[in-house]
């Protein structure tokens, strides 16, 4: 973790999935602490529990009951009500997925400002601000000429840039990236990592899951995950 | 805010929701059209039924109401009453002027003996006398060239209104339009004499049976009346059987007029006369009352009831004269009087409304299945929305709002369709009644040929099954429509000569339309609620991983 104060941490988290009668333990007491402004890569093989850990850190999922906690800025987030987790996902963290996960019916600009539209019935001023901020982020990502295009009209790299703009539009303090270059060629992948690096340079905390050591090398710190446990880092 | 954006985008960027909108629109339109036509029919029936009975009807037994003229004076003084008129209601046999086999036709009739002037003030009798010259140039232009009324003058109307033959001064009879078989109803709702049997000017013999106050039947009596006019009320039972004669003649025929009463138990005097006990008063069996404008019929009925009680009490104190009014008479409003006529139609309308409301359930089921498939298709989108902070209620609201939008748009479109159809229902009916225009079937034939070409192109050249199937369905449908149009020889569904009303009611029942729109919206939201709840329950992790 270095000298940076932890902003996001997982303490001894367990997560078991149930498929019918079969229980599959994915995380078995994984712990990780991510410092403020740090860029951490979580490296592991397929099935090691990387994405599950990412979902837990991002409040999309909760650890098994009584078996581990997720802390954000010293506050336990996984014990709160559903609404507090919704708010945590909306304001405090931003997700970037391997397959971009853009909504096909919305334009590039609408996809990017989506988190700004979530979280209020009468948020017109907030929506306007989100549109402004999304426009700026898309301009930084070199997509100002694509604002009214649909995701289907974009390349993979462009889609991932839109996904990054969407993740950052509400000004989160942590970016959670799940295999952000996993679906891209090397050159495009590098440009995406450059974009993340630029945000990190401005003080954004980044937690990035990958199985590619060369991608993980762009991070300040690499954490190894094996069989549901952090074994190195 | 994102819910509005997404539900609007889902609504406008896909075809399936448009099918749901169309289904809701058709359901709503169907219910509004059926209920509007039936409500219009009911209103016409009520208006016609009320035409000849006023607002409140007082009916006594066969003994009649003695001293009715005194009570009429009391009634006319009531603040709730505009006018009151006496009537004798009895049964009779009418010997028609035309033959039935070797003898003249005999028709059973319901005889109403009236004072024409006051009867016309209480009822719409004056407007319903049929044979009359056209009131103005517009009415003249609206009549077909062979309408006999075009050649008539005011005298026939005057005779009808006074129940008296102007030329001879004889008391006349006015018959319901269908008492005589000589009147043939036309497609425009007017009448022409059939077999040359034009009734006004002919004579009929009316036979009635006098019944004494005690219910004893006397020898039948008859009288001959010239037919001075005919009346069309719009209610078949009335027009088929009712005839109107002057009250004075009926009182004489039925022995309900004022007459000296002799003591038959006493010995005659030297000149053979029995002692005179007094004079029995003239009687009537009904009194019809018209309420003052703005006075509800029920309020008027209550006032009439109170007046009757006072009249009976006053008569009981008069021991110096003959004839006591019965203590109990039937006092009904026009709606109560017509309940046998209106009730079944009202029940029929409600039954239709209930049966057609089942369509809502079909509509809700359709929306449910469409939304269910949309939710399954949009599972990944739901996961994405949850990942950016959308709450479960927010997801629920997207789909409820989506259903609401479909309900509102569909229902309003349904009102529009219904309004266009109902407003033009007579034009549509007339078009159905004619042969299909050649241009129509040539057009559908050409469209069928184009569809066939497109189907062959899709199936044989491009090897695409779905568009090929859709074009084939279109071809078959258009071919069937073309054949139907070629074979169509005009179908008159609402034949005025049978259905009595010459026009199909064409007023939208806006109150029921509002209820129907509300139902359409509610059932659309209900249909959307179950898939919406399923969407809200979607696990975001599974949605993102497997959606």
Exposure string over B271-294, b if 16+ CB within 10 A, otherwise e: eeeeeeeeebbbbbbbbbbbbeee
Cross-chain CB nearest to B392 (options A61, A82, A103): A82
Contact flag B2-A114 (C-beta cutoff 8 Å): yes
Among all residues of chain B, which has the CA nearest to that of A59? B387
Q: What are the residue boundaries of the structural domains of chain B, listed by start? A: 2-45+343-433+506-546, 54-262+274-337, 435-489
Place of tokens 């949309």: B374
Pair A35, A220: CB distance under 8 Å: no
- Give the H/E segment covering residue B385: helix B379-387
Pair B331, B308: CB distance under 8 Å: yes
Interface A-B, measured as beta-carbon pairs within 8 A, has a size of 70
Rounded CA separation B323/B281 (Å): 6
Q: What is the mean pLDDT of chain B?
A: 88
Contact flag A95-B381 (C-beta cutoff 8 Å): no
B388 touches chain A (CB under 8 A): yes
Rounded CA separation B62/B210 (Å): 10
Contact flag A105-B9 (C-beta cutoff 8 Å): yes
Helix (H, G, I), strand (E, B) or coil at B244: strand
Q: What are the residue boundaries of the structural domains of chain A, listed by start? A: 6-104+158-232
Among all residues of chain A, which has the CA nearest to that of B14? A105
**pLDDT digits 0-9 by tens, B9-20:** 877 777 888 888
Q: Which residues of B touch A103 (CB under 8 A)?
A: 6, 381, 384-385
B547 touches chain A (CB under 8 A): no
Interface of A with B in 72-111 (CB under 8 A): 82-83, 86-91, 95, 97, 101-103, 105-106, 110
Contact flag A101-B544 (C-beta cutoff 8 Å): yes
Q: Hey, of A81, A116, A118, which one would you mutate to test binding to chain B, going by the most B CBs within 10 A of its CB?
A: A118
Could you tell me the CA-to-CA distances from B332 to B55, B242, B289, B329 in Å, in that order? 9, 20, 10, 10
Closest CA to B132 of B99, B100, B103, B159: B159
Rounded CA separation B304/B295 (Å): 13
Q: Using alpha carbons only, what angle is made at residue B192 by residues B187 and B193, rounded to the nearest 5 degrees?
A: 145
Interface of A with B in 147-176 (CB under 8 A): 166
Contact flag A105-B387 (C-beta cutoff 8 Å): no
Tokens of A66: 């009584």
Beta strands in chain A (DSSP E): 6-19, 22-35, 39-44, 69-72, 75-76, 93-96, 174-178, 205-210, 221-226, 229-232
B394 touches chain A (CB under 8 A): yes
A58 touches chain B (CB under 8 A): yes
Angstroms from B388 CA to nearest CA on chain A: 5
Pair B114, B246: CB distance under 8 Å: yes
* Fold classification of A6-104+158-232 (topology level): Rossmann fold (3.40.50)
Give B47's pLDDT tier (boundaries 50, 70, 90): confident
Mean pLDDT of B199-218: 85
**pLDDT digits 0-9 by tens, B360-390:** 888 889 889 988 988 898 899 999 999 998 9
Mean pLDDT of B213-236: 87
Q: Hey, of B4, B11, B387, which one would you mutate to test binding to chain A, going by the most A CBs within 10 A of its CB?
A: B387
Pair B543, B386: CB distance under 8 Å: yes
Closest CA to A77 of A8, A150, A128: A8
Contact flag B389-A127 (C-beta cutoff 8 Å): no
Mean pLDDT, 10 residues at a time, chain A of 233 residues: 72 90 91 93 89 93 89 86 87 92 92 83 71 90 90 92 92 92 88 91 93 90 91 71
Positive/negative CA dihedral, B490, B491, B496, B501: negative
Q: What are phi and psi of A59, to 5 degrees?
A: 75, 15
Burial label for B417, CB within 10 Å (0-12, 13-18, 19+), is middle
Rounded CA separation B391/B410 (Å): 28
Higher pLDDT pick, B20 / B288: B288
- Position A2 scores a pLDDT of 47
Tokens of B207: 């036979």
Rounded CA separation A218/B362 (Å): 59
Contact flag B1-A123 (C-beta cutoff 8 Å): yes
Q: Which residues of A touch B384 (CB under 8 A)?
A: 101-103
Rounded CA separation A142/B246 (Å): 100
| Among A213-227, B120-134, B264-278, B370-384, the least confident range | B264-278
Q: Which residues, 6+ apart, have CB-to-CB distance to B348 below 8 Å?
A: B38
A60 touches chain B (CB under 8 A): yes
């Amino acid at each position: 973790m270095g000298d940076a104060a932890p902003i996001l941490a997982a303490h001894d988290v367990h997560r078991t999935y149930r498929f019918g009668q079969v229980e599959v333990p994915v995380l078995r007491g994984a712990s990780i602490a991510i410092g403020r402004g740090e860029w951490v890569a979580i490296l592991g093989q397929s099935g090691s529990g990387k994405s599950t850990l990412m979902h837990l850190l991002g409040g999309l999922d909760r650890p098994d009951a009584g078996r581990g906690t997720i802390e954000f800025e010293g506050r336990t987030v996984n014990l709160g009500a559903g609404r507090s987790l919704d708010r945590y996902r909306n304001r405090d963290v931003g997700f970037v997925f391997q397959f971009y996960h853009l909504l096909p019916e919305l334009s590039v600009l609408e996809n990017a400002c989506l988190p700004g539209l979530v979280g209020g019935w009468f948020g017109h001023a907030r929506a306007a601000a989100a549109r402004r901020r999304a426009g700026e982020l898309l301009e930084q990502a070199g997509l100002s000429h694509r604002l009214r295009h649909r995701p289907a009209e974009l390349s993979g790299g462009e889609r991932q840039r839109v996904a990054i703009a969407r993740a950052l539009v509400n000004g989160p303090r942590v970016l959670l990236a799940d295999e952000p270059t996993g679906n891209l060629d090397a050159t495009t992948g590098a440009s995406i990592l450059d974009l993340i690096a630029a945000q990190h340079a401005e003080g954004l905390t980044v937690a990035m899951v990958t199985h590619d050591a060369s991608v993980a090398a762009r991070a300040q710190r690499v954490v190894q995950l094996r069989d549901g446990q952090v074994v190195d880092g | 805010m994102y819910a509005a954006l997404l539900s609007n985008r889902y609504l406008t960027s896909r075809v399936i929701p448009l099918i749901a909108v169309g289904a809701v629109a058709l359901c709503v339109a169907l219910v509004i059209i059926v209920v509007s036509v039936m409500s219009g029919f009911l209103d016409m029936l009520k208006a016609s039924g009320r035409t000849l009975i006023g607002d409140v009807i007082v009916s006594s037994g066969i003994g009649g109401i003695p001293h009715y003229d005194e009570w009429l004076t009391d009634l006319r003084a009531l603040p709730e009453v505009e006018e009151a008129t006496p009537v004798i209601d009895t049964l009779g046999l009418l010997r028609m002027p035309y033959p039935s086999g070797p003898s003249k036709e005999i028709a059973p009739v319901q005889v109403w003996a009236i004072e024409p002037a006051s009867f016309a003030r209480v009822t719409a009798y004056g407007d319903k006398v049929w044979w009359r010259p056209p009131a103005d140039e517009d009415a003249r232009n609206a009549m077909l060239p062979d309408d006999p009324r075009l050649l008539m003058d005011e005298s026939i109307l005057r005779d009808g209104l006074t129940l008296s033959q102007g030329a001879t001064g004889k008391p006349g009879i006015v018959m319901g339009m269908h008492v005589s078989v000589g009147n043939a109803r036309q497609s425009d709702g007017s009448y022409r004499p059939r077999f040359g049997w034009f009734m006004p000017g002919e004579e009929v013999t009316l036979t009635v049976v006098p019944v004494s106050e005690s219910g004893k039947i006397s020898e039948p009596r008859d009288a001959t009346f010239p037919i001075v006019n005919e009346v069309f009320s719009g209610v078949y039972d009335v027009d088929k059987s009712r005839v109107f004669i002057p009250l004075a003649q009926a009182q004489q025929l039925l022995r309900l007029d004022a007459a000296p009463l002799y003591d038959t138990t006493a010995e005659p005097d030297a000149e053979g006369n029995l002692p005179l006990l007094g004079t029995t008063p003239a009687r009537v069996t009904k009194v019809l009352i018209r309420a003052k404008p703005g006075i509800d019929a029920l309020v008027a009925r209550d006032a009439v009831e109170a007046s009757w009680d006072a009249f009976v009490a006053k008569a009981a104190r008069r021991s110096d004269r003959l004839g006591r009014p019965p203590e109990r008479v039937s006092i009904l409003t026009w709606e109560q009087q017509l309940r046998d006529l209106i009730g079944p139609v009202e029940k029929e309308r409600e039954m239709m409304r209930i049966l057609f409301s089942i369509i809502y359930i079909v509509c809700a089921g359709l929306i449910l299945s469409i939304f269910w498939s949309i939710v399954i298709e949009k599972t990944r989108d739901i996961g994405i929305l949850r990942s950016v902070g959308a709450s479960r209620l927010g997801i629920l609201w997207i789909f409820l709002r989506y259903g609401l939008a479909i309900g509102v748009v569909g229902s309003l479109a349904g009102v529009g369709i219904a309004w266009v159809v109902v407003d033009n229902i007579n034009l549509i009916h007339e078009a159905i009644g004619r042969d299909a225009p050649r241009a129509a079937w040539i057009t559908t034939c050409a469209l069928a040929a184009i569809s066939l070409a497109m189907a062959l192109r899709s199936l044989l050249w491009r090897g695409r099954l779905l568009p090929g199937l859709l074009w084939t369905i279109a071809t078959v449908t258009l071919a069937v429509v073309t054949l139907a149009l070629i074979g169509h020889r005009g179908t008159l569904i609402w034949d005025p000569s049978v259905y009595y009303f010459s026009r199909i009611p064409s007023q939208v029942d806006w109150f029921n339309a509002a209820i129907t729109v509300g139902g359409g919206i509610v059932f659309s939201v209900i249909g959307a609620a179950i898939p919406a709840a399923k969407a809200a329950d979607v696990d975001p992790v599974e949605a993102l991983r497997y959606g």
